Chains A and B, each alone.
Chain A
């Protein structure tokens, strides 16, 4: 495939957990530079879809292309082949992910968390990686906490370190899986500020979130998922203020 203006091209993605079909043929394209907000009740498949994009979950049907590359498989002729773990790891380097539970490495300092993958995976020198990490820490407002261990940081600080850690791999796409759901309300703002700046810098982002205000302000497009399908998609203001589908209406009524 040639370079297209699509960062993510998901075609008919299906996923089963045992006998339960979590994703029922999801087709979604995300142009480069777009910020997409994924909304939906819990169990709607939005997190699973996100995890399929970087192959943390293998899909059972359809295709996902990121940056014009098929994720997790190789296409040769009309057959597809499973990739080696090393090849999958290589694909994941351009896809950053931020988790609801932060998942910082507790045995490393904030700085250690950020420089480990650039050094160990990309082969950057310690000086190079550290210089970049300190810049990133400054960008997320934690320049003075480089030597703190995750246990010494608040949830909001941990999440900002996690964002810096993902950015250190210079990803082309960032996935956010409910990044503020595990935070105390007063800590949410700092994390959203960092994400807002990131969106302004032109990063392609897919954000699973219940922060309606943030989505309205930052997202270019909003997708509402329910029961493994895309129910509705459009500009955030349209979806939020004028939902067409009864399921979207019911969900928004219960949240707002």
Chain B
């Protein structure tokens, strides 16, 4: 053998890549199926695409998007605050607080969200007036008609917040439980009180456990706002169905609404990424890359791969020569 001389002396592995024919077959099969499906929708005469373009920026739809977004954000903020309180109550030494928190979660998780939304819409049937005064006397500082104080939109936000708080409370509780007991002991040994320890030491560390499922909850919330259609809140889904009941382009307007839901979901995942990244500091030696850093890495890797291919092609030429 004379290969000792011909063999490359540098240590880089310049192997001819293994071929993966079945990967190509599988990819092609999936693309064909998707293409057929897309084609059947795209060329479907029952979907008049001009209606989609016409209504996607319609002022009524845009107002619906706005309401959906506002309701989602307010409900999530209120729900998160309530959830932290409920989670702390649930872990409290006080059996009454523990019991109340347990009952709250049991009730709001155990009844359908739709029922809760309708219930808040009918609150006026249960309490005609809401008043502030001395209990069990006739003295009132003020008294307002229930339906005036709680219009459909407010009732909807209350319903979504209270329901979400029950789920989020369990997420927060899991996050608090995930922190090693030694952290609390170290904080106490430094003279920190229980409240300060929770705020500065326990909660910030729980965030890395809490945020990913809360991102899920936010997306659920976004879509659950469409349930407010039953109490006639003019959010995105209500707006699109109101338009379609006028022009009978139901499918087109459902597509319009879906496009917006998808868009908002995508937008909401951006703050989630950066929040996760913020709370991951100190947890891993390397923070996950931002999209820009990822892009730079990918380009560098592609360049590297192209280089490898060039080297491999050259080696193949030399072998055949």
Give residues in A with beta carbon < 8 Å to B. 54, 56, 85-86, 89-90, 92-93, 95-97, 99, 101, 103-109, 116-117, 120-122, 149-152, 162, 165-166, 169
CB distance from A150 to the nearest CB of B (A): 7
Closest residue on chain B to residue A84 by CB atoms: B193
A105-B193 CB under 8 A given contacts A56-B185, A99-B186, A149-B281: no
Contact check, B186 vs A120: say whether CB atoms are below 8 A apart. Answer: no
Residues of B within 8 A of A85 (CB): 193-194
Q: Are A166 and B282 in contact (CB under 8 A)?
A: no
Interface bracket on B? 20 to 34
Given the known interface contacts A105-B183, A106-B205, A151-B285, the answer about A56 and B188 at a Cβ–Cβ threshold of 8 Å is: yes
Contact A121 B196 (CB under 8 A): yes
Q: Is the CB of B196 within 8 A of A107?
A: no
A169 touches B186 (CB 8 A): no
B279 within 8 A of A: yes
The answer to whether A166 and B285 have CB atoms under 8 Å apart is no
Residues of B within 8 A of A92 (CB): 188-191
How far apart are the CA atoms of A56 and B182 in the complex, in Å?
Answer: 11
Please report whether the interface of chain B is mostly helix, strand, loop or mixed according to DSSP. Answer: helix
- Residues of chain A within 8 A (CB-CB) of B283 are 106-107, 151
Contact B183 A116 (CB under 8 A): no
Cα–Cα distance between A90 and B200 once the two chains are bound (Å):
18
CA A98 to CA B279, docked complex, whole Å: 26
Q: A86-B193, A96-B189 are in contact. List 19 more A-B contacts (CB 8 A).
A: A54-B188, A56-B188, A85-B193, A89-B191, A89-B193, A92-B189, A93-B190, A93-B191, A99-B182, A101-B182, A103-B186, A106-B282, A108-B282, A109-B282, A121-B191, A149-B282, A150-B282, A151-B282, A151-B285
How far apart are A72's CB and chain B's nearest CB, in angstroms? 12
Interface residues of B in 189-215 (CB under 8 A from A): 189-194, 196, 200-201, 204-205
Q: How does the 8 Å CB contact mask read for B240-258 relative to A, with 1 for contact and 0 for none?
A: 0000000000000000000
Residue of B nearest to A98 (CB): B189
Across the interface, which residues of A come within 8 angstroms of B185, CB to CB?
56, 99, 103
Q: A108 CA to B185 CA in the complex, in Å?
A: 16
Whether A166 lies near B189 (C-beta < 8 A) is: yes
Q: A107-B281, A149-B282, A152-B285 are in contact. Are A166 and B190 (CB under 8 A)?
A: yes
Interface presence of B2 (CB below 8 A): no
